[in-house]
Amino acid sequence: MSSYSVRVYGDPVLKQIAREVDEVDGSLVRLVDDMVETMYGSEGAGLAAPQVGVQKRLFVYDVGEGPEAVINPTIVESEGEWYHDEGCLSIPGLRLGIVRPDRVHLRGYDLDGEEITIEADEFLGRVFQHEVDHLDGVLMIERLEDDMRKQALRVLRDRALGMDTSAMEAKLVSAGSEQEV
CA distance 33 to 13: 21
Q: Site size for Ni ion, by CB under 5 A? A: 2
Query: In the chain, what is the straight-line distance between the N-terminal and C-terminal CA atoms, in Å?
Result: 20
Q: Which of 44/108 has CB closer to Ni ion?
A: 44
Q: What does each C-alpha distance from 33 to 1, 28, 30, 54 come to in angstroms?
A: 6, 9, 5, 14
Q: Which of 28/88 has CB closer to Ni ion?
A: 88
Confirm whether 131 is a catalytic residue: yes
CA distance 96 to 51: 19
Q: What does each C-alpha distance from 151 to 14, 88, 96 come to in angstroms?
A: 20, 17, 11
Binding mask 50-89 for Ni ion (x = CB under 5 A): --------------------------------------x-
As measured in angstroms, the least distance from the Cβ of 90 to Ni ion is 5
Q: Which of 116/138 has CB closer to Ni ion?
A: 138
Active-site residue, from 131, 142, 145, 169: 131
Name the site residues for Ni ion (rule: CB under 5 A): 88, 181
Which residues are part of the catalytic machinery? Answer: 131
